[in-house]
Structure 1
Amino acid sequence: MSDTSSLHDVLPGGFSGAPPGRRRAGRQQRKRRKQRRRRTTTVLLVSLVVAGGGVYGAYLAISPIVERLTEPKDYAGPGSGEVLVVIPEGASGRVMAQELADKGVVKTPVAFIDAVAADKRGAGIQPGNYNLKLEMSAAGALDILADPANRIVAKVTIPEGTRLADALNVIAKKLDLDPKELRAAAESGDIGLPKAAKGNLEGFLYPATYEFGPDVTAESALAQMVKRGQQTYDKLGIPDNKLRKVVIEASLLEAEAGTEQYMGKVARVIENRVQSGMNLQFDSTVSYATGKFNVTTTPQDRESNSPYNTYKFPGLPAGPISNPGEAALAAALNPTPGKWKFFVTTNPDTGETKFANDFAQHQVYVKEFQAWLQANPGN
């Protein structure tokens, strides 16, 4: 018996150990198992790829957020270039921070807010115009803003009782404005004048100290001064229908009262003389009409036909003769009670003024004034 025969005896059916039909079925099962393994591997690979793609997509989505959270929120250096920043009146720290960020001064509003929170000087930042650097640190920006000396302002002071022509000269010089443009603006009617002004700025250019930024114009400067006057009228409670009268009388007080302490009494003299039909006979009104500034006037001056000549015409002058301040306005609105009809400043150097109910007593005081004139020629 051969070796092959013995194998057949051990494994019936030959080498396969199975009939031909079963062999085919086995091969098909093995093939299906391989296919299932390949599909499983493919699904796993696809799942891994999809999962990997999702992670990558998520990374792409959040990476800007991560960068924003991790990147510095402030510039480190002193900055470069120059940019004008305007801090508005009453601006909060957040408003300032946003303005600085918008202008490219600080990197983020948060950087400046943090700097202000850590430095008590932040509470003292004044409104105004400032020159700052581009891309500077928030602390550096605060250093500049916290120092009032860094504010870009031009100050203009108009003293009480200043005539309009003189005030315009001061404004033009201090703000480097064209005098012609300033006069044109004063006459334009576009500066917020109240109706009581009748289109004339004299008397309604409120005397005070003003600050202006580099972008000031003739119109904006005058409008600000007129607005300040309106705020004062409202504060004092001057009715619109009395405003012109009060301003005219107040302008006379600035010229005639000498000092603030006499304004109420001089206002009463004006009221008493006008109500009794007496001419005011104020040299200040004649000086205004003639364009002079002397303490006294000449007989020729007093013959002027100007409606401002209170020697020649009864009642108040045609309009204000200067720009009065708050004290004069308050006195004109509420004169001191009394019967005085005469007064004279006996010493213009000190402003000493004396009041009388009758002409005889007044003449005594006039002689004191004349004695001062002799001692001070040229006035």
Structure 2
Amino acid sequence: MKDHLESSIFGDHDDHADVHDLVEHDAHPAAPPASRRELREAELAAQRASRRRRGRGSAARAGRGKPPWWRRLLVIVLALAVIGGGAAVAYQALRPVVEGFLESNDYPGPGQGSVRVTVEQGAGGSAIARELVDADVIKSTKSFVDAANADSKSSGIQPGVYEMKKQMRAADALAVLVDPKNRIVTRVTIPEGLWATEIYAKLSKASGIPVAQYVAAAKDAEALGLPSSARGNVEGYLFPASYEFAPDSSAAAQLKQMVGESVKRLDALGITPDKMERVVILASLVEGEASTEADRGKVARVIENRLASNTSIGFDSTVNYIFKKRGVPTQEMLDSDSPYNTRRFKGLPPGPIANPGESAIQAAAAPPAGDWFYFVTVNLCTGETRFAVTAAEHAKNVAAFNAWRESTGGKC
């Protein structure tokens, strides 16, 4: 019992215990004591037996403590499955965050479809970027701001309407905006001296808006911003210049812009609203009669001198305005009883006879000093005009004109 307990707790005995056990079981009580040689042989035999028993015990323990290879493989597979499943769950949970870091803030381009974008006056880079994002032209404001910061031309973006694609690269969208040729505008040039009816026709041709809409818009003096002295008449206040109108601008908006240009220049000259009408009427006469810019001041002085002397102005341009015809008026036209006929009636006509430009307005506002009372263009091809103080001097200038007409047939 003692040997069994020791073996259970401490394992196998040492070699001496095995020898004792072997000798105790193998010896015959009646046998005489063994010789030294026999004892040595018995001890060796006991050692061999002990080694055999330890080998069998180790094998048994190894068999019980270590599972077979296929079980170990199964455990590994199951562990990987658990880990893989957890990773999948984690990926689904973290996917928005990961994509937020990894996803590009720019479209790859080149874009598709078509959309119009308006760049407002004074809009900065961030405001333009937000407009582009709202229209889905670019993916993020950051992508556009980064592209703009890297391009020195971005500071030159002009206000207006641009035709663009949806989902463009920010750099490509910027390239569209920095080129002013890409602005969608109604471009029209109004030369000096045209009548309002001629201007309506030019605006209509450029914009596609019917002439009738311009005629109707011209009747709303308050909406157009006309000075009170104009008495609701837009003639003379449609400032001649080159204009770029937004593609969706109305007839009223276009006329208002042109009136605003005239009023702005009159304001700059110190002309108060109550005196604007007289200056514009005078300027329209100058525009209708002066052949060159250098002559405008002198023509304005002639008009003032004739008004001061209570003499009729006597201009063909006022008669032409009555009939809306260019050229030398016929006798029938000269006999018109219209108050615009300055051949028959003294003083200024009741309203402007054309839409004068800036130099004519300046000449009318401050004509140079001089005693000129007459003038005549002696060469219609070059526009050479001669001014005179006396009727006799003027008669010589008229003779020069007749000589030119006879030699050329009045043609250039």
Using the size of structure 2 for normalisation, the TM-score is: 0.73
Give the alignment partner of residue 384 of structure 2, picking from 330, 343, 352: 352
Which residue of 211, 214, 224 maps to 2:247?
A: 214
Q: Is 1:228 matched with 2:241?
A: no
- Partners of 1:68 and 1:210 lie apart in 2 by 47
Partner SS for 2:331: coil
> For residue 53 of structure 1, what is the aligned residue in structure 2?
none
Please state if 1:320 is matched with 2:384.
Answer: no
Question: Stretches of 4+ moved more than 3 A in 1?
Answer: 62-71, 376-379
1:261-288: CA deviation from partner (whole Å, max 9, x where unpaired) = 0111111111111011011001111111
Q: Does 1:201 align with 2:234?
A: yes
Matches within 5 A, 1:1-379: 68-189=100-221, 190-294=223-327, 296-374=328-406, 375-377=408-410
Deviation at 1:301, TM superposition (A): 2.0
The code of the aligned residue for 1:173 comes to: K
8 Å Cα contact 2:227/2:274 also seen in 1 = no
The one-letter code of the counterpart of 1:131 is E
Deviation at 1:68, TM superposition (A): 4.3
The answer to which of 359-368 and 146-155 deviates more is 146-155
- Write the letter of the residue equivalent to 1:125: I
CA–CA distance in structure 2, aligned partners of residues 135 and 74 of structure 1: 9
| TM-superposed deviation, 1:365 | 0.7
Q: Which one is further off, 141-150 or 259-268?
A: 141-150
Q: CA deviation at 1:307?
A: 0.7
The number of equivalent residue pairs is 320
Q: Which letter maps to 2:374?
A: F
Distance in 1 (CA, whole Å) between partners of 2:332 and 2:266 is: 37
**1 CA distance for matches of 2:100 and 2:194?**
59
CA distance in 2, matches of 1:372, 1:320: 31
Percentage of identical aligned residues: 47
Aligned-partner residue type, residue 153 of structure 2? R
How far is the alpha carbon of 1:151 from its aligned partner?
1.4
Cα 1:64/1:307, change in 2 over 3 Å: farther
Alignment RMSD: 2.1
Gaps of 5+ in 2: 1-88
When residues 366 and 120 of structure 1 are mapped into structure 2, their CA distance, relative to the original with a 3 A threshold, is same
Cα separation, 1, equivalents of 2:103 and 2:173:
20
The secondary structure found in structure 1 opposite 2:224 is coil
Deviations 1:247-271 (A, max 9, x none): 0011111111111101111111111
Residue type of the partner of 1:249?
A: L
What is the TM-score when the length of structure 1 is the normalising length?
A: 0.80
Question: Which string of whole-angstrom CA distances, capped at 9 and with x for unpartnered residues, describes residues 119-147 of structure 1?
Answer: 12212222211111112110110121122
1:24 corresponds in structure 2 to: none
Counterpart-to-counterpart distance in 1, 2:291 and 2:211: 31
- Unpaired runs of 5+ residues, structure 1, are 1-55
C-alpha distance in structure 2 between counterparts of 1:124 and 1:90, whole Å: 11
Distance 1:373 1:197 in 2: 39
